[in-house]
Structure formats: structure tokens, C-alpha cells
Chains A and B, each alone.
Chain A
Amino acid sequence: MDLDFTESENAFRDESRSWLEANVPRESLPSGDTKEGFALHLEWEHKLFDAGWAAVSWPKQYGGREATLVEWLIFEEEYYRVGAPSRVTQNGIFLLAPTLFEFGTDEQKDRILRPMARGDVTWGQAWSEPNAGSDLASLKSTARRVDGGWHLSGQKTWSTRAAFCDMAYGLFRTDPEQARHRGLTYFMFPLHAEGITVRGVDRLDGDEGFAEIFLEDVFVPDSDVIGGVNQGWKVTMATTSSERGLSLRSPGRFMATASRLIDLYHRYRDRSDPVLRDQVVQAWMDAQVYRWFTFQTVSRMMQGESIGPDSSMNKVFWSEMDVRTHETALAIIGDALELDEGSESAVDAGHWMKGFQFALAGPIYAGTNEIQRNIIAERVLGLPRK
């Protein structure tokens, strides 16, 4: 056990910090989940990539710097500490890319990864359907064999940022005769092509962060199948496990939120009470606990262990912590909490209410926490399925 950072890890932190401090936009950008904000975020993504910081853990040939997982966590800590913009390339870099690294062909990796990481080609995910949410395997969208590829048809929904993205990935039924988990295939498909209609959906927080995607005989070449025909479920499970776990929400984000909460508490402490004080301390502690739990997980991964269903614990923890932390912030703000973004008198420009609403999505997306708890009970504790 050595819980100190090595010299090279510290050097990596210093290097990340100085680059970020020199380059992070001074003014915070408008939300990346709006059309204008998205474009501005992409400029930032280009800058990140060109300096080699877009996907630090990737191989150099794809624009990364072959950082270890610990170094990646360090980068994330520094990234959120300076308040750098949220990552609109996230669905590509942290969800699709791990799948490509595990199941993609060399041709796919060469073609897709660099433009993805630079934000030249942006990606949305297309898992859920109107009647297939938690029960994803009941999905009905189909892929029909045609000359040189497939025709995709059906409807996908809750696709994050798909209204602004270029491409998407998701599951389609290629063999309706097989059992429901079996006949599925993982496809990448264009969002601006014949047969596609994308309609933005306003989220709870008012941003057009969601979209519905309607597909009618959208052509996709064979080269955009990942991991083989009818192998989609297995391939997807690998992706969702990284989504739930650390790649989606590393500790740095929550440590930064906890620091901002303490700052908020200091500014408004005159209206605070001991209960509130305890809650602020609790928020800080939870972020620390998540940090050390994650370092433990990453150490296991670096020794070659796979994490699998354990990532569900991660997901439940961070998502529920994030809600509590924002609730505490709103309790500190008091009746001014209703002053929204754009209101002159809003505390911290309405950031906390916005963050609270975003946090409320955490226990729902990437597999609801109810589904995560089923996974923990069945696959970690070994309780019977039925």
C-alpha cells in the first residue's frame, strides 16, 4: 500500500495544472446542452485535443498521452478544480471509445477515435426507446440486411445532446427469431442522413439536452457494426459498466463541488445552523470517501482485475451523493434558491439550482439506481434472480 503519489504522478499533476490554469476560458461558457453553448464547448475541445489533454489515457497514436488510470484521475481532479468546461465529447470519449478499444477493428479505431476526441465528429448515445428503458433488451428498433450493409428503422429516445451531434451509437434488433438478448447488434449511425429525423426534447432544467431519433431505412455499412452481428448485448454491457463506474463521474468533479459548497457556506454562514454545518461536512466527507474508493478500484484495475458489477456501487454512491450535496447548497441559499439562471439577484448565477436539477438525473441515467441495486444484489451478493 502506498497512498502517496509517485514523483511522476506529481509531475503529471503539475503539468496538467499549469496547462489548465493557463488555458481554461476565463468566463464560464453557456451550457453545453444548448445549441450555442455546444459550439463554444467544441472550440474548447479542439484546444484540449491539440495540446494532448482530450483523452489522456489513450494511446499516443490516437491523440492521448498513455497516462495511467491514476494519472487520469489526477487530471480529472485538476480539470474540475479549475472549473474547466463540461465535456460535450463525453459520450464518445468515455462511453463509445472504451467499447471500440475492446471490440473495435483497427480500421474503426483509426477512423473514429481522433476525430471523436478532437470534437470534430460528435457522438450521442441511442439506447432507450419509448417502450424500452430499464428493460433495454425489449427494444424494438430493427436492422435489416441490405446490399453492403443494413437499414436501421425505429425510434430512440433520451439521447443526450443528439440534437447537436453528428453521429450516434446504439442497439438494433438484427435477428427477431432469437431470444431477446441474443438477436441484438451494436451499430454506429449518422444523425444527418436520409431517413433520420432528430427532435430535441427540453429537459427538466430547461436545456435541450435530450433528443428523440426517428429512423426509417437509414443505411449503415457493415464497417459500422461493432463486435459482430448479434453480439450487441455483450458489447453493450462492457460499455455500460464503464459508464456507471468511474469513467463517467470521476471523483474530481465531486471534490470540486464540495469545495464550492464550503465556499458557499462561508459566504452565507450567518444564516446557517449546526445541522447545516454537519451537512456541509458530510458532503465534503462523501467526496473524500468516493475518492479513496475510486483509487482502490483503479489500483485493482491496474493489477489486471476487472471490475464488472462492482461499478454499480460506484454509480449509486456518486449519484445519490450529488443530489445530497446540491440539496445542502439549496438549504444554505434559503428562499433565494428559486432565483434561476438569468435572474439578476440569483446566488452564484443560479448555478446551484441548475446543478441540483442536473443531479436529479443521476439516479435515473446510465441505468436507474433501482436496476443498479438489482445488479448488486444478484451479481455481487448472489441473491436469486427470481
Chain B
Amino acid sequence: MRFAFTDDQKMLRDTVREVLQRECPPEVVRAAWEGRPDGARAVWDTLAETGVIGMTASEEAGGMGMSELDLVLPLEESGYAALPGPIVDTVAVGIPLLEAAGTSVQKERWLGPATVGEARIVVSFEDQAIVPHAASADVLIAERGGAVYCVPIADVSVSPERSVDRARELGRVSFERNAQFRMREDVNTAALLALGRERAALGTAAQLVGLSRRMLDMAVQYAKDREQFGKPIGAQQAIKHRLANALIEQEFARPMVCRAGWSMATSARDIEIDVSLAKIYAGQAARFVAKAALQVHGAIGYTIECDLHMWMKRAWALAAAHGDAAHHRERIGRHIL
């Protein structure tokens, strides 16, 4: 039993953290909100140069052959920065799915470009017609009627939907289920899709932890700076206790995300339970921290001018995405009761 990340994993996290600190400040998120995603797109390119975008592809496909556990810290950082873009879809779900189930033509066309950051993959599971970042992606991998399709975005009809988090640029996707888009049928599609769902939930949970950390950082900083009654509001016990509670929520969610990453990476017995625990606690923490951070900010937090809202809205969206708490609690209940 050794519950700690390796130096390599921490180094990768630091690399991602530096890139995002430098290239993905809140202005970039705000620009994506206002329909100017160029900055976020440039961050994607830099991340690709560091190898992070292609990290889950095998070495022969030009990637690093990294596991779900390796994904946890980089994705947490992407949440911390509220990076706009389909990083979970592409890196955690799309690339492994493409490599395992893509035809040679599909892999030829998309795997290399996805690995180097030139093609972005979005994923649509059976029950999920509305997909974030579909319009600006290059290829859609979609589960329909138990089969999987790999469809160039040019062949997908994307009708815009509006997310409370404008940086998620949602679109309702539909396409002709042509044979040419079908992915391989000689693989265990159901198992690969199931794995993809777990990866999506895990990746989202990791991002939620990052979102929590950032919102808590903002709130703590604000509580130190903002003065009322002649002293920082953070000196008041009511504020202290609220933020202490937020930290507890966040810190108890974190090991569950690591645990889920480890379970997936080692194909442990309890993948479903562990991923569900991660998703529930990370989602619950992010929503809790969001509320605490808003309250600590007071009226300024209740404006579009204050950056907090972009993190908060992402947290709401992601806490419900890829299975909300009720869904995952139900799943755990089936295992233990």
C-alpha cells in the first residue's frame, strides 16, 4: 500500500500547470465565453507539444501509452484553469477508443492528428445527443444502437444549444448512420464503450477537483483581502468555518479520484464502485465549494465581471455530466445492498 503519485506523474502535472498558468488565465476562458476560442485553441497546441494531448495513445501511435491514473493530475489542472475544450473527450475517451476500435482507415486519418493536437475528438454516448465543443471539433465518435461510429464533423449536423457555461459551446449532434462511419465490429464494442464511460466519469471527476481548488483559492484570497469592520472578513469565524468546510469537502474527494484512477489503470475488481465514488464526491465538493465561494465573495461574486462565475458554472455542468450523484449512488447501491 503506497498512496502517492510518482515523481514522473508530479512532473507531468507541473508541466501542465505551468502551461496553463501562463497561457490560460481567466481572460482566455472569458474570451471563449464570448465566442473567441482562439486563445484556448492555442493552449491546446502548447499542451500537445508537451505530449499531454497524446498521452493515452500507445507509443507506436506516437503517444506515451499512459494510464487512467496518469491522467488524474493533468486533468485536475485543466479543471483548475477551467480550460475550454474537449480534453476529457479527446484524451481520456476518444484516443483510446479510436485506437482500440478504429478501422485502419479511421486510425490513419484521425489517430495521428489527434495525438499531436491537430484533430479534436468529441464523444457522444448513446443517451447523450448534446455534446460540448462539437462544432469546433474535427471528429465525432458516437454510440448509436449499440454500434460505434467515427464521423468527420463535416458530416455531422450540429445544432447549437446554450450551456449555462458558455465556454462549453454545446451542440446537438445527428448524422447518417452510414456503413463507412462504422468502427470495427470484430472488437468487444460493449466493453470498450463501458470503459469509455468510466474514463469520461473519472476524467470529469478529476476536473471537478481542480475546479474546487481554484474556487477555494479565489475565496480564500478574497477573504484575506476584503476588509469590513476594520479587518479582513477572513478573520470572522463565520467565514473561517464555511471555508474550512469547503476544504474538507475537497480534500476528502481527492483521494477517491486517485483511487478510481488506480483501479482503472490496474483493472481492479471495483472499478464501477470506485469511479462512482470519485464522481459523487468530486461533484459534491465542487458544488459545495462553489456555494461557499459565492457567499464569501458577496455581491461581487454575483456578477459576470467576477471570474468566479465561470468556474462555478463549469462545476454545475460537470457535476451532472457523465452521471450525477443520484445515478452513481444508485449504481453503488446495486453493488452493496
- Give A residues with C-beta under 8 Å from B: 1-6, 9, 70, 262, 265-266, 277-278, 280-282, 284-285, 288-290, 292-293, 295-296, 298-300, 303, 313, 316-317, 370, 372-374, 376-378, 380-386
B277 an interface residue at 8 Å Cβ cutoff? Answer: yes
Inter-chain CA distance A220–B117, complex, in Å, is 74
Residue pair B332, A2 in contact (C-beta under 8 Å): no
B220 an interface residue at 8 Å Cβ cutoff? Answer: yes
Residue pair B336, A262 in contact (C-beta under 8 Å): yes
Give chain A residues whose Cβ lies under 8 Å from the Cβ of B251. 293, 313
B181 an interface residue at 8 Å Cβ cutoff? Answer: no
Residue pair A3, B3 in contact (C-beta under 8 Å): yes
Residue pair A381, B244 in contact (C-beta under 8 Å): yes
Residue pair A277, B333 in contact (C-beta under 8 Å): yes
Which residues B208-225 have CB closer than 8 A to chain A? 220, 223-224
Question: Which one of B30-38, B49-57, B130-138, B227-235 is at the A interface?
Answer: B227-235
Residue pair B2, A293 in contact (C-beta under 8 Å): no
B13: shortest Cβ distance to chain A, in Å?
13
Residue pair B256, A374 in contact (C-beta under 8 Å): no
Residue pair B235, A292 in contact (C-beta under 8 Å): no
Give chain A residues whose Cβ lies under 8 Å from the Cβ of B255. 289, 292-293, 295-296
Inter-chain CA distance A383–B256, complex, in Å, is 27
CB<8 Å pairs between A and B, sample of 16: A1-B5, A2-B262, A3-B268, A284-B336, A289-B281, A292-B256, A292-B258, A295-B255, A296-B255, A300-B4, A303-B4, A373-B244, A376-B244, A376-B247, A382-B220, A383-B243
A278: shortest Cβ distance to chain B, in Å?
6
Known contacts A281-B333, A377-B240, A381-B244: A1-B258 contact under CB 8 Å: yes
B69 an interface residue at 8 Å Cβ cutoff? Answer: yes
Residue pair B231, A1 in contact (C-beta under 8 Å): no
B1 an interface residue at 8 Å Cβ cutoff? Answer: yes
Give chain A residues whose Cβ lies under 8 Å from the Cβ of B220. 381-383
Residue pair A289, B277 in contact (C-beta under 8 Å): yes
B337 an interface residue at 8 Å Cβ cutoff? Answer: yes
Give chain B residues whose Cβ lies under 8 Å from the Cβ of A298. 3
Residue pair B247, A285 in contact (C-beta under 8 Å): no
Give chain A residues whose Cβ lies under 8 Å from the Cβ of B248. 313, 316-317, 376
Known contacts A289-B281, A300-B4, A383-B235: A281-B336 contact under CB 8 Å: yes
